[in-house]
Amino acid sequence: MNLYSDESLIEQLPGFKNNYTTVNGVNIHYVTGGYGSPLVLIPGWPETWWSYHKIMPILAEKHSLIVIDLRGMGSSEKPLEGYTKKNMAKDIHELITHLGHQKINITGHDIGAAVAFSYAANFPESTDKLIILDTPHPDENIYKLPMMPIGNPVFPWWLAFNQVKQLPEELLEGRYDVLQNYIFNHLLVNPEAINDFDRKVYAEAYNNKNAIRSSNGWYQAFTQDIEDIKKYKKVSIPAMGIGSPEGAKMLSFFFSVYLEDFSIEEIENSGHFVHEEKPEITALLIKKFLS
């Protein structure tokens, strides 16, 4: 058996199981486990549901977890379209309805954070609390991000690179780990927080043209995402942002514009992947907020 397949990975997490369901016209892979109020966890680029494996057993003590591979991610289907965050939030809503939940708590990281915010904005009646990890939903401020390293060795060039059609697939098929390792090494304070095994899991998930094309689709939808957020009412659902020092600053500004009831938690000595670099603190903050 492939060591990095969902079937092998789930064996490392007793009490959890893989599931597959077609919703909103796309087949979605998701992992379930735990007991209590429903809590959805949504990962981001360049990872899969496995990014939450360190905190899943902790959160499962109090919550029924639904950990989702977004459309285009991991073992979920990779259609040619449908990658706006509003439409991917609809994927989540249809899945939650299918599972019989009327209301959920929802957490997202990176691209998953944008989908989680969109879920709360579009389905407030189905949302109890919202938790955002380190990344806001795209708005017009994204156009102001530097594409040149102006006094900062780390700048988000990959946002532009992932906008390019066809070329990334041609360059990176079979060697996506080159890009992933760059991202992990530069956006973690401690690069060992995502170990060699975890990196191979993510490389396996992204190493083919369809996976690269579909994950880039999340970024190529940003223009529409920016237009969509202009139409949303200010979200009144209780929300918490958890971020690295830099991420917490971005979330604080974003929340002040788009949310009414929120708190921000900054995790020191952490980079972008807070739930993997500081899993115990992240899980504790989530449990406290939801209790």
Q: Using CA atoms, how far apart are residues 144 and 133, in angstroms rounded to an integer?
A: 21
Residue 179 has pLDDT above 70, yes or no: yes
Residue 37 near residue 12 (C-beta atoms within 8 A):
no
Asked whether residue 268 is assigned to any structural domain, the reply reads: yes
Asked whether residue 143 is assigned to any structural domain, the reply reads: no
Q: How does DSSP classify residue 136?
A: P
Mean pLDDT of the chain: 97
Q: Using CA atoms, how far apart are residues 57 and 91, in angstroms rounded to an integer?
A: 25
For residues 240-265, average pLDDT? 97
Residue 154 has pLDDT above 80, yes or no: no
Selection from 32, 33, 24, 30 nearest residue 43 by Cα: 30
Asked whether residue 272 is assigned to any structural domain, the reply reads: yes
Asked whether residue 177 is assigned to any structural domain, the reply reads: no
Residues 6 or more apart from 197 whose CB is under 8 A from it? Answer: none
With cut-offs at 50, 70 and 90, classify the pLDDT of residue 151.
confident
Residue 193 near residue 277 (C-beta atoms within 8 A):
yes
Q: Which domain holds residue 10?
A: 6-138+223-290
Residue 265 near residue 285 (C-beta atoms within 8 A):
yes
Selection from 200, 250, 217 nearest residue 9 by Cα: 200
For residues 25-41, average pLDDT? 98
Question: Is residue 131 classed exposed, middle or buried when 0-12, 13-18 and 19+ CB atoms within 10 A define those classes?
Answer: buried
| Percentage of the chain modeled with pLDDT above 90 | 96
Q: How does DSSP classify residue 156?
A: -
CA torsion through residues 234, 237, 242, 245, sign: positive
Residue 153 has pLDDT above 80, yes or no: no
For residues 252-281, average pLDDT? 98
For residues 87-99, average pLDDT? 98
For residues 201-214, average pLDDT? 98
- What's the confidence (pLDDT) of residue 39? 98
Give the H/E segment covering residue 274: helix 274-277
For residues 189-211, average pLDDT? 98
Selection from 269, 7, 255 nearest residue 139 by Cα: 255
Helices vs. strands in the chain: H and E counts, helices first: 13, 8
Q: Using CA atoms, how far apart are residues 264 and 184, in angstroms rounded to an integer?
A: 24
Asked whether residue 144 is assigned to any structural domain, the reply reads: no
Residue 114 has pLDDT above 70, yes or no: yes
Residue 152 has pLDDT above 80, yes or no: no
Q: Would you give the end-to-end CA distance of the chain in angstroms?
A: 39
Residue 173 near residue 206 (C-beta atoms within 8 A):
no
Q: Which of 142-156, 157-171, 177-191, 236-250 has the lowest mean pLDDT?
A: 142-156
Count how many domains the chain has. 1
Q: Using CA atoms, how far apart are residues 129 and 120, in angstroms rounded to an integer?
A: 8
Biggest distance spanned by C-alpha atoms of the chain: 51
CATH of residue 111's domain is 3.40.50.1820
Asked whether residue 212 is assigned to any structural domain, the reply reads: no
Asked whether residue 31 is assigned to any structural domain, the reply reads: yes
Give the residue carrying structure tokens 């009490």. Answer: 15
Residue 13 has pLDDT above 70, yes or no: yes
> What is the secondary structure of 173-240 as a DSSP string?
TT-HHHHHHHHHHHH-SSGGGS-HHHHHHHHHHH-SHHHHHHHHHHHHTHHHHHHHHTTPPPB-S-EE
Asked whether residue 180 is assigned to any structural domain, the reply reads: no
> What is the secondary structure of 55-105 as a DSSP string?
THHHHTTTEEEEEE--TTSTTS---SS--SHHHHHHHHHHHHHHTT-S-EE
Residue 150 has pLDDT above 80, yes or no: no
